[in-house]
Chain A
């Protein structure tokens, strides 16, 4: 028979009864209970927590989790055209390899003398993002793109001393919700309409909204509806004319082909690094970047950590540390800029690995092939009877809107029919942006082969027949 006493939990070495007894004796206690002397008896639980029976063997634990995971369908086993902020890109094996190195995975917040590696890897991440964005200052990642955008808007408010910010009305409703929750006490968020015919920001509406109280204008490029904001430079110029900052909210995977926000006049850039070698993870793989030029007035408004390069006592040796640490809540609590904490450092390292693998040509080829595949998908879907691509005259990189209104079918019904055929159709926009009608946001990246796109078009045609 199994000796229950001998089944010491593998995660708790000092649970060995003899060791525990010896340690209690060493501290002069007769029971662990004595160590909780400061916890009032009225607050102590008198019965064990009501939890399921533990699964103490690894084999049985694997079996239990396998049973749960079996009820998920991986996007690898279907063809998925879902994007809308969480993107299906190829994750190079090297990204998984480095992100899985236990030296990185299980480390935390050590000083450079213990954890030099993460400092250098994150400095290099900042540096490669800096090249992609053509900006000199990039933060250690915050949680996600929503957080990055929210903070970029707050930074604009602090820099200008103004409280109105303008955002595109086409923006994701979830992102808008996050921004409102975060900036409410200090900023008023106002939406600027988009042109129904093109999906581009309505410049006349922007002109009317701008004024001497506007802190910043957020330019999503590409916009949430997938359209490349071809007039970004004009928007930035209009913002500057009112003394407001232009904030470029961009998808880094598009920057091999699209001009970086700095090139069209953005003062701040922000976005999410998930497309750069990080798995979708049911939406759990985000990291936010914020970037600016090296203007101390702007740099001092970053709440995030900024790892900088510094000399050591030995010539030729690179050291790293926090730039202007006194900005942060770590240094001065509520007197710091917003707040900082554990966020998404490992995804920063991973995104750095991705950019190092891709290099200049890889990023360019990625952008080119996404644009070609997306344009091909637009052409194939437009050819399906009743299907319309409302902004097809605009430039797209990896997403576009499909309008099923003329088919008489709902996106929900069509998605269900395609699901049965092993296709995850695009995001249903009918409740998020009702003005677009029965519309879906379809995402096409480098992972979608011509055959995949053909299958979507063919199956959609059959489903709609």
Chain B
């Protein structure tokens, strides 16, 4: 019996009419891919009345004998009238539903995750997950007697020392929940610093358009007017624009370097000096620090404050958007404003110091995202000084190598800083391809899903037209980078040859093209299943038979 030839498929990587032969042919580049597509219902649709997923302990008879049922004694109006209308599933069905959903999601462990630029999607070592899950981390209470948590306090204390050396700053707090929370903590310390000097006329913060939006947004929430600088024609932060912006009203400069373009600001010391001369503080957003570890430091450029994202540069997993972890570094002069508590060591024991009268106070409950502090500590310890430097160098080499490869693709350019090297990422532009094919950058991302690849445009506004931001980190091999470049090349070729085909993507993803319009219409949007059912009751699907 012979196997029938392959029928025509929308998956163009499978030639139609081919027959099985030996030897098996070479694998195509880029590889064929199909995302898991379980067509999974909403969990409420999987509910069977009476099914149970897990049973809480029953109350012992001895307790009931003494106190009865206190819940029944709650007055009406205080007591819940009817149990919450949650779904009812047996345990296997909960596991199966969520495991299927997980398969419809691409982690770093699955894809060549260089497409989410600015996010530093590096490998998160498995052994560090083991430490984070250990009951001697996972099941510690923050109010335990310090004698019972010396290990975790020592890890925090050591991690602070490591980050002090890496940044050159004098003290570091590990409390912020992630990068934006760290930016907030820094802005709050800036506010406290000026207030402590009675310098209350400073009501402006300067940032750049290629710095993360949270720099501008946190400053605004803290009560500052935001001045945003645009780059000069070469894409470098504009020193003249800075000079024109700063004054006796300047509280601080919040700046990323390298910015999200991957361009290092060679005049960064001048930026710091200009702001200092006006009496402002300088704050370094080091979300893009991965290419600079052991190469150059925030303090050496004169910064007063900085922050790292431990889920980016220091390898803790990104967890679908948190928990991450942030770390703020400050000079000795600003250390008294750090959020409380700090971790202190008297040569014998570690303790949390909450008695800090000038502190901005609490920025979150307790002391930071501890499992990620443990992971970051273990990661740095596994690398040491030379290892961190190697991380930076390979991240930069990978980036420049990938840039070289992808700039061979028709329709793609890397605006700004022509002929210059980039640090750890590049903001590219498909402007030419869009003009020539009508395919937008976003659609290239949709098609990238068919190859199992992440892809990201840029933060808003799109200063670079039809943007794409790639950041290859140190985690990916040359073959990985070649494969990612091959994916982009294939999509660009498709765009030129058959734009309608690219326009219809994705084909091999979990789902097909979404209509986003209802999401902006209050009459139709639905943030919960209950809202969906209320607004769209007529569309309530009949149960499958």
Contacting pair B139 A280 (CB below 8 A): yes
Q: Which residue of A lies closest to B457 (CB)?
A: A111
Chain A, interface size: which category?
Answer: 35 or more
Which one, A77, A281, A294, A424, contacts B145 given CB within 8 A? A424
Which one, A45, A90, A349, contacts B56 given CB within 8 A? A90
Q: Min CB distance, A385 to chain B, in Å?
A: 19
Does A353 sit within 8 A of B, measured CB to CB? yes
User: A86 CA to B383 CA in the complex, in Å?
Assistant: 33
Chain B, interface size: which category?
Answer: 35 or more
Stretch at the interface among B1-9, B19-27, B429-437, B504-512: B504-512
Which one, B130, B265, B525, contacts A323 given CB within 8 A? B525
User: A65 CA to B154 CA in the complex, in Å?
Assistant: 11
Contacting pair A13 B477 (CB below 8 A): yes
Does B418 sit within 8 A of A, measured CB to CB? no
Which A257-288 residues sit within 8 Å CB-CB of chain B?
A: 257-260, 263-264, 272, 279-287
Contacting pair A346 B62 (CB below 8 A): no
Contacting pair B52 A319 (CB below 8 A): no
If the complex has contacts A110-B454, A334-B217, are A281 and B515 also in contact, measured as CB distance less than 8 A? no
What sequence of 0s and 1s flags, for each residue 213-242 of chain B, a beta carbon within 8 Å of any chain A beta carbon?
110111111110010100000000000000
Contacting pair A280 B138 (CB below 8 A): yes
User: A68 CA to B151 CA in the complex, in Å?
Assistant: 5
Q: Min CB distance, A68 to chain B, in Å?
A: 4
Contacting pair B86 A333 (CB below 8 A): no
Q: Min CB distance, A132 to chain B, in Å?
A: 5
Contacting pair B400 A27 (CB below 8 A): yes
Does A168 sit within 8 A of B, measured CB to CB? no
Does B491 sit within 8 A of A, measured CB to CB? no
Contacting pair A114 B216 (CB below 8 A): no
A-B pairs under 8 A by CB, number:
724
User: A55 CA to B379 CA in the complex, in Å?
Assistant: 10
User: A157 CA to B58 CA in the complex, in Å?
Assistant: 44
Please indicate the chain B residues that have their CB under 8 angstroms from the CB of A38 in the complex.
Answer: 263-266, 417, 420-421, 423
Contacting pair B519 A48 (CB below 8 A): no
Does B75 sit within 8 A of A, measured CB to CB? yes
User: A65 CA to B133 CA in the complex, in Å?
Assistant: 12
Does B493 sit within 8 A of A, measured CB to CB? no
Contacting pair A12 B394 (CB below 8 A): yes
Which one, B64, B226, B295, B525, contacts A372 given CB within 8 A? B64
What sequence of 0s and 1s flags, for each residue 48-80 of chain B, a beta carbon within 8 Å of any chain A beta carbon?
000111111111101110111111011101111
User: A14 CA to B114 CA in the complex, in Å?
Assistant: 15
Please indicate the chain A residues that have their CB under 8 angstroms from the CB of B56 in the complex.
Answer: 90, 358, 362, 365-366, 369, 446
What sequence of 0s and 1s flags, for each residue 306-348 of chain A, a beta carbon within 8 Å of any chain B beta carbon?
1111111110111111111110011111101011111111110
User: A309 CA to B221 CA in the complex, in Å?
Assistant: 30
What sequence of 0s and 1s flags, for each residue 160-186 of chain A, a beta carbon within 8 Å of any chain B beta carbon?
000000000000001101101110111
Which one, B39, B59, B148, B446, contacts A369 given CB within 8 A? B59
User: A197 CA to B173 CA in the complex, in Å?
Assistant: 40
Does A106 sit within 8 A of B, measured CB to CB? yes
If the complex has contacts A23-B397, A105-B107, A372-B59, are A333 and B213 also in contact, measured as CB distance less than 8 A? yes
Which A1-45 residues sit within 8 Å CB-CB of chain B?
A: 9, 11-15, 19-20, 22-24, 26-27, 29, 32, 34-40, 42-45
Stretch at the interface among B10-18, B92-100, B273-281, B327-335: B92-100
Contacting pair B217 A43 (CB below 8 A): no
11 A–B pairs (Cβ distance < 8 Å), ordered by A: A14-B478, A39-B264, A94-B53, A98-B95, A105-B317, A181-B188, A284-B369, A321-B516, A338-B217, A368-B59, A450-B60
The 8 A-B residue pairs with the shortest CB-CB distance, nearest first, are A283-B366, A54-B384, A341-B180, A185-B223, A117-B105, A357-B53, A283-B142, A106-B107
Supplied contacts A74-B135, A362-B53, A373-B63, 12 more A-B pairs, CB within 8 Å: A54-B381, A69-B137, A102-B107, A103-B107, A107-B108, A113-B506, A117-B510, A256-B83, A259-B79, A284-B370, A357-B89, A361-B52
